[in-house]
Amino acid sequence: MEDQPSSSSSRLKTAVLDAPLHSIGFEYEDLSPQKVSGRLLVTQKCCQPFKVLHGGVSALIAESLASMGAHMASGYKRVAGIQLSINHLKRAEMGDLVHAEATPLNVGRTIQVFPISLFPFMLCLFQFICSSFKMMLNHNKHNMKYTIS
């Protein structure tokens, strides 16, 4: 699979915004309240022993992109995830270039929902590797109560 050349500004942007994603080689492309996207070249750093993308890496990407989008969509308020659901539909193998994209489904006053898709870079959007949903809660110090169960 032919990959696009990586830009140093994209690498730097990821290094500054998200150290865990940067450490596995992920690079942010679009950063806005309407869309957060990026790409990852599947390497040994992010593979299972079977040379396929580790499911935990898919979750890390989904969590990071949705959190970044929710933070921007909330007007840069503190947000926290309350639910993350991952469905792995196809595998990505070592050497594949994976595109990830999070777009808001609902941006409410307190709850936001972001679907996240991972798919092969050169193929169509409907050939998902992973499909995820993340629900975010906007923190407001005046109406938030924390309970530990």
Query: Could you give the CA distance from residue 130 to residue 89 in angstroms, rounded to a whole number?
Result: 6
* First-to-final CA distance of the chain: 48
Residues with Cβ < 8 Å from 126, sequence gap 6 or more? Answer: 119
Residues annotated as catalytic (active site), given as ranges: 63
Stated as kind and residue range, the H or E segment containing 149 is none
Closest CA to 30 of 42, 50, 14, 46: 14
Count the neighbouring beta carbons within 10 Å of the beta carbon of residue 61: 27
Closest CA to 125 of 106, 93, 100: 100
